[in-house]
Homo-oligomer: A and B are copies of this chain.
Amino acid sequence: MFKPLASPALAQFVAATADRNMTKAAYVAVANGVIMILLVTVDPAYQAAHRWVDAVLWGSLAFFVFEWVVRLRHAFVAQHGWSYAVSGRGLLDAVAAAAIPLALILGADPKTAWLLGAFWMLKVVPGIPGLRQLRRVLVTESGPLLSVLVIFLMVLMLASVALYFLERDVQPAGFGSVPAALWWAVATLTTTGYGDVVPITPLGRLVAAVVMICGLGVFGLWTGILATGFAAETRRDNFLKTWESVTKVPFFAALGPAAIADVTHMLRTMDLPARAMIIRKGQAGDCMYFIADGEVEVDLPGKKVRLGEGAFFGEMALLGNNLRSANITTTRVSRLLVLDLVDFRMLMARHPDLAETIDAEAKRRALENR
């Protein structure tokens, strides 16, 4: 039987793709595929290297078909096959795998069929870092954004009708119908300004000038709304990310929940890979670090000290020494909490007990390393 044999490899593959949302292989396949689609349409380039181009394209396609089939099979094995197949993710995988073969079978010109590979790019979407944040902003601010869009459309329509009325006789080619005038209006209101169609009557130009200034206004409103939404979302996001980590650091354990909320507002989360240098000896320092997860190595003269979860470092630079006194690197993937000089002082002022703890530790270290 086939299933017991193939399953572990499949499970592993699916876990890998599910884990980081897409394996690196898929990214490579997308990148290669898209570049080749560009080349397919450039006649001289394609004729010179059509074997290579075709090979990469078919390779990418094969990968996506394989990926889809494997995921589909795995989903059915786990008995939630249809829910994957009709989910956004599953449909996208299906399109990426099946659209091009289908088009070829239906007799489309190969050059045209491969264009459908542009949809492969959508496979990258779940991997975009701040996307969830962006979506939340758009959802939260959808009300005002829609208002601006409606205003935008109304200005568009009124401007088109006005320009059609004013310019149709002198420029039948450019303003011969309202849809034609709409093309001019959208290029003007977005301040794109192709210049392929331009009003020439004085009144037409007056209306056009008003449309352009409205364009600036729409732009400004849109940006203002997004900026407002984004500021709120950023605050929220940082807080959530940091709260999880703060509660893991014993240093803050003594604080009550109100103080923890306070501290959380001051800290910033930073994720680092292994072997990343956090502090370079001799640099000016304006923040200290708490280890929420992972481990760092302090490169002292003559010995190496390792600090684990819950430890802190870099406090000396904030207590008077402006220059860092040792190199510090991560030994494995770590999550640090960064406390800026600004907030360090605020925190020390509000919680003198924390200040004492840090002071004592700093003195102990200074003695030890003398």
Contacts and interface: CB of A to CB of B under 8 A. Distances in A.
B129 A143 contact: yes
A13 interface: no
A270 B257 CA distance: 28
Contacts of A205: 183
Identical chains bound together, number: 4
A124 B154 contact: yes
B42 A179 contact: yes
A349 interface: yes
B41 A115 contact: no
A124 B150 contact: yes
A236 B161 contact: no
A162 to B, nearest CB: 8
A345 interface: yes
A240 B134 contact: no
B230 A225 contact: yes
Interface stretch (A94-102, A190-198, A309-317, A358-366): A190-198
A226 interface: yes
The listed residue with most B CB atoms (<10 A of its CB), out of A194, A209, A350, is A194
A351 to B, nearest CB: 10
A22 interface: no
Contacts of A40: 178
Interface stretch (A3-11, A53-61, A214-222, A290-298): A214-222
Contacts of A348: 257
Given A41-B177, A183-B205, A165 B115 contact: yes
Contacts of A349: 256-258, 260-261
A230 B236 contact: no
Given A187-B212, A219-B223, 10 more contacts: A121-B157, A124-B154, A130-B146, A144-B230, A183-B209, A216-B218, A217-B222, A243-B342, A258-B350, A261-B346
22 contacts: A38-B177, A40-B178, A41-B177, A42-B178, A42-B179, A115-B161, A115-B165, A130-B147, A133-B143, A134-B151, A152-B213, A195-B196, A196-B198, A216-B218, A216-B222, A220-B225, A220-B227, A223-B227, A224-B227, A240-B286, A240-B341, A258-B349
Query: Nearest 5 CB-CB pairs, A to B?
Result: A192-B193, A224-B227, A194-B195, A224-B226, A257-B349
